[in-house]
Structure 1
Amino acid sequence: MVYAEYLGQPSIFELARTGDLRAISDLINTYLRPEGISARVAPPDRKGCLPVLVEFQQEPMAEGIVKFICHLLWKLNAPNLEGVKIAARYQGDGEILWKQSVRLVTPANRVYRGQGHRRWLNLDGIKFKTLRLMFLMGSAVSAFVLGCWVSYYEVRAEVFPLPKNPAQENIALVAPPPKRSDTVQAALEVVPVVQQEQVKNPQDPTVTLVFGGDVTLSDHFEDVIGTNYSLPFAQLPEYQDADLAMVNLENPLTRSTLRRPNKQFNFKADPEAVKVLTEGGIDIVNLANNHTMDYGEPGLMETIATLDQAGIKTVGAGRDMKEARRPSIIEVKGQRIAYLGYYDADFHAATETLAGTNPRYDQQVAADIKAIRDQVDWVVVNYHWGVELAEYPGDWQIDLARFTIDQGADVVIGHHPHTLQGAEIYKGRPIVYSLGNFIFGGNSRADYETAVLRVALNANHQMKVEFLPVEVTQYQAKVISTPKGEDIIKRVGRLSQIFDQPMQSSVVLDTPQRQIKRVDAALTPTAEPTLPLVTEPKPESPSTATEMLPSEPPKTLFSEPMQSPVIKQSGSISQTESPLPPKLETKTATQDDLKPYIDQPFIKDPFISLPSFPQAPVPSTQSYRGSDFPISFQIAIPKQQSVTTESEVSVSKMERGSHAEIDLPLKNREFDQAIG
Structure 2
Amino acid sequence: MVIQSRARCETASFDFLGSTETNVVDGFTLAAVGDVMMRRPHTIVQAATLSPVAKILQDADVSFGNLETNLTDLRTSKGGPTVNGDAYHVATPAVAPDLKAVGFNMMARANNHAYDWGIEGMRETTEVLDQIGIVHAGSGENLAQAAAPHFLETRRGRIGLISLTMTFPSASRAADAAGQAPGRPGLSALRLTRIVVVAPDMLESLRRIRNGLPGPIEEGGNPNQVVVADTVYRAGNKIGYSFEPNAHDETTILRNIREGKQLSDFLIVSNHDHNPGNWSEVPSDYAQVFARKTIDVGADAHIAHGPHILRGIEIYKGRPIFYSLGNFLFDNLNPVEGADYFEYYGLDPRKDTVPDVIAAAMKGDFANPVYYESVVAVSRFEQNQLVELRLFPIELNFTKRLADRGVPRLAPPAHGQAILERLQRLSEPYGTHIAIESGVGVIRLRSAATSVETSVKPTVGTR
TM-score surpassing 0.5? yes
Residues 83-115 of structure 1 deviation map (CA, whole Å, 9 limit, x = unaligned)? xxxxxxxxxxxxxxxxxxxxxxxxxxxxxxxxx
Seen in structure 2, the aligned counterparts of structure 1 residues 357 and 595 have a Cα distance that, compared at 3 Å, is: closer
**Which secondary structure state, in structure 1, belongs to the residue aligned with residue 104 of structure 2?**
coil
* Deviation of 1:364 (Å): 1.3
Does the aligned pair in 2 maintain the 1:266–1:291 contact within 8 Å?
Answer: yes
1:425 to 292, 297, 315: 315
**1:263–1:373 CA distance, 2 compared to 1 (3 A):** same
Q: 1:252 aligns to what?
A: 70
Of 39, 56, 61, 1:243 maps to 61
Q: Of 442, 445, 448, which residue of structure 2 is paired with 1:506?
A: 442
Q: How far apart are 1:245 and its partner, in Å? A: 0.7
Match in the other structure for 2:187:
357
The one-letter code of the counterpart of 1:273 is V
1:214 partner amino acid: D
After superposition, the Cα gap between the structure-2 partners of 1:490 and 1:254, relative to the gap in structure 1 and judged at 3 Å, is same
**Cα distance in structure 1, aligned partners of 2:49 and 2:458:** 45
2: CA distance, partners of 1:227 / 1:303: 22
Deviations 1:603-631 (A, max 9, x none): xxxxxxxxxxxxxxxxxxxxxxxxxxxxx
1:232 positional shift: 6.2
- Residue pair 2:68, 2:113 contacting (<8 A) in 1 also: yes
Q: 1:226: how far off? A: 10
CA contact (8 A) 2:318 2:458 kept: no
The alignment-based identity, stated in percent, is: 28
- In 2, the alpha carbon distance for the partners of 1:503 and 1:424 equals 9
Deviation at 1:594, TM superposition (A): 4.8
* Structure number with higher strand proportion: 2
Question: Gaps (5+ residues) in structure 1?
Answer: 1-183, 187-195, 197-203, 513-558, 568-590, 598-676
User: Residue deviations 1:440-484, cap 9 Å, x none?
Assistant: 122556983211211112245344223211122344322346121
- Number of paired residues? 324
Query: Separation in 1 of the partners of 2:433 and 2:297?
Result: 20
- Alignment map for 1:522-541 (pairs within 5 Å): none
- State the Cα distance separating 1:230 from its structure 2 match: 5.2
1:95-138 superposed Cα distances (whole Å, 9 cap, x missing partner): xxxxxxxxxxxxxxxxxxxxxxxxxxxxxxxxxxxxxxxxxxxx
1:254 & 1:355 partners in 2: Cα distance? Answer: 17
Match of 1:372 in 2: 260
Aligned partners of 2:330 and 2:281: how far apart in 1?
18
- In the alignment, is the contact (CA less than 8 A) between 2:37 and 2:331 conserved in 1? yes
State the shift of 1:592 in Å.
10
Q: Deviations over 1:149-207 (max 9, x none)?
A: xxxxxxxxxxxxxxxxxxxxxxxxxxxxxxxxxxx999xxxxxxxxx9xxxxxxx9512
Preserved CA contact (<8 Å) 2:311 2:427: yes
1:488 is the counterpart of 2:456: no
Q: Which has the larger radius of gyration?
A: 1
Give the CA deviation at 1:424: 1.3
Q: What secondary structure is seen at the aligned counterpart in 1 of 2:71?
A: coil
The alignment status of 1:469 with 2:399, answered yes or no, reads no
What secondary structure does 1:234 align onto? helix
**Structure 2 CA distance for partners of 1:277 and 1:302, relative to 1, 3 Å:** same
CA contact (8 A) 2:31 2:64 kept: yes
Cα separation, partners in 2 of 1:289 and 1:391, compared to 1, 3 Å: same
Residue 416 of structure 1: aligned partner: 306
Query: SS of the residue aligned with 2:289?
Result: helix
Residue of structure 2 equivalent to 1:292:
114
Distance 1:337-1:492 versus aligned 2 partners, 3 A rule: same
In structure 1, the partner of 2:94 is: 272
Alpha carbons 1:425, 1:503 under 8 Å: kept:
no
Q: Which residue of 2 aligns with 1:102?
A: none
Q: Which amino acid aligns with 1:466?
A: R
Q: How does 1:94-109 map onto structure 2 within 5 Å?
A: none
1:191-590 equivalent positions in 2, closer than 5 A: 205-218=26-39, 228=45, 233-236=50-53, 237-255=55-73, 256=77, 258-344=80-166, 347=170, 348-352=172-176, 353-360=183-190, 361-385=249-273, 386=275, 387-442=277-332, 444=359, 448-459=372-383, 461-473=385-397, 474=404, 475-480=406-411, 482-499=413-430, 501-502=431-432, 504=434, 505-509=441-445, 559-561=449-451, 563=452
Matched to 1:244, the amino acid is V
1:413-447 Cα offsets, whole Å, 9 max, x none, are 11110111111122222211111111112255698
Letter in 2 for 1:465: L
Report the CA distance shift for 1:432/1:503 in structure 2 as closer, same or farther (over 3 A): farther
How far does residue 333 in structure 1 lie from its aligned partner after superposition? 2.5
Answer yes or no: is the 8 Å Cα contact 1:254–1:303 preserved in 2: yes
Amino acid at match of 2:432: P
Offset at 1:375? 3.8
* 1:470 match: secondary structure: strand
Where relative contact order (Cα < 8 A, 6+ residues apart) is larger, the structure is 2
Q: Deviations over 1:342-368 (max 9, x none)?
A: 013763111222211112221012101
- For 2:297 and 2:250, locate their aligned partners in 1 and report how far apart those are by CA, in whole Å: 10
